[in-house]
């Protein structure tokens, strides 16, 4: 082996091995950095956006059995101290948001709302006057995440699919029958979405 490495021909071979290990080490370093920083990022921003985040994969506390995840958004929210959402559902909306599309970006004045969002890389924004300058909390929902979010009456929210392939799905529970008229809802709250 040593004799082999001393031969000039072996130089490309050694270089290839070196490059391979450099690539491996860089790869893992970046992967680790990405996951640890997103974890840190997640906790603060999840609080500002008034939401709970769950993973669909193992380990997960919403995975009841091998069928997959299942949750009761209202009881989960109240048990976890997420306040301001609906306590009961007077109306329910379920829907899809296709890649690149935006829903919400409005502010209801006549209902509190609890949302469940999953399925794709999604940006969720909630108006929050406690956040300096921006006045909103914003998170990125991964395609394996399921979030339960509360949006109190008078608080704007927006859901934007930022995935290239998958659809975002959502369920919205409102404690009042929403009328989408001018006096009860403000539309197009944020212009930068």
Ligand X SMILES: *[C@@H]1O[C@H](CO)[C@@H](O)[C@H](O)[C@H]1NC(C)=O
Q: Decide if residue 153 touches ligand X (CB under 6 A).
A: yes
- CA pair distance 154, 112, nearest whole angstrom: 8
Element (H, E) at 37: helix 11-48
Q: Decide if residue 184 touches ligand X (CB under 6 A).
A: yes
> What is the nearest approach in angstroms of ligand X to the Cβ of residue 122?
25
Hey, how many other C-beta atoms are within 10 angstroms of the C-beta on 29?
A: 10
Q: Decide if residue 129 touches ligand X (CB under 6 A).
A: no
Range in contact with ligand X (rule: CB under 6 A) among 106-114, 126-134, 137-145, 157-165:
106-114
- CA pair distance 172, 77, nearest whole angstrom: 13
**């995975």: which residue's tokens?**
63
- Coil/strand/helix, residue 29: helix
Nearer to ligand X, 114 or 122 (CB): 114
Contact residue for ligand X among 51, 52, 82, 111 (CB under 6 A)? 111
Contact residue for ligand X among 6, 43, 129, 181 (CB under 6 A)? 181
Q: Decide if residue 74 touches ligand X (CB under 6 A).
A: no
Measure the N-to-C terminal CA separation of the chain; round to a whole number of Å.
60
> What is the nearest approach in angstroms of ligand X to the Cβ of residue 153?
4
- Coil/strand/helix, residue 173: strand
Nearer to ligand X, 165 or 182 (CB): 182
The answer to whether residues 149 and 114 touch, using CB atoms and an 8 Å cutoff, is yes
Number of residues this chain uses to bind ligand X (CB under 6 A): 10
Q: Decide if residue 112 touches ligand X (CB under 6 A).
A: yes
Identify the bridge partners of residue 13 per DSSP, sorted by sequence position. none
Interface contacts to ligand X, rule CB under 6 A: 110-112, 153, 175-176, 179, 181, 183-184
């Amino acid at each position: 082996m040593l004799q082999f490495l001393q031969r000039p021909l072996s130089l490309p071979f050694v270089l290839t091995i070196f490059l391979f290990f450099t690539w491996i080490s860089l790869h893992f370093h970046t992967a680790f950095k990405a996951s640890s920083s997103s974890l840190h990022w997640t906790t603060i921003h999840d609080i500002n956006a008034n939401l709970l985040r769950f993973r669909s994969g193992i380990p997960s506390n919403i995975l009841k059995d091998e069928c997959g995840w299942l949750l009761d958004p209202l009881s989960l929210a109240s048990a976890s101290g997420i306040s301001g959402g609906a306590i009961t559902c007077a109306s329910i909306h379920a829907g899809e948001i296709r890649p690149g599309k935006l829903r919400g970006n409005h502010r209801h004045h006549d209902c509190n709302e609890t949302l469940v969002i999953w399925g794709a890389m999604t940006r969720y924004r909630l108006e929050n006057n406690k956040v300096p300058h921006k006045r909103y909390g914003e998170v990125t929902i991964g395609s394996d995440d399921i979030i339960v979010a509360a949006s109190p009456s008078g608080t704007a929210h927006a859901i934007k699919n930022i995935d290239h392939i998958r659809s975002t799905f959502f369920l919205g529970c409102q404690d009042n029958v929403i009328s989408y008229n001018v006096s009860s809802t403000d539309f197009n709250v944020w212009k930068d979405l």
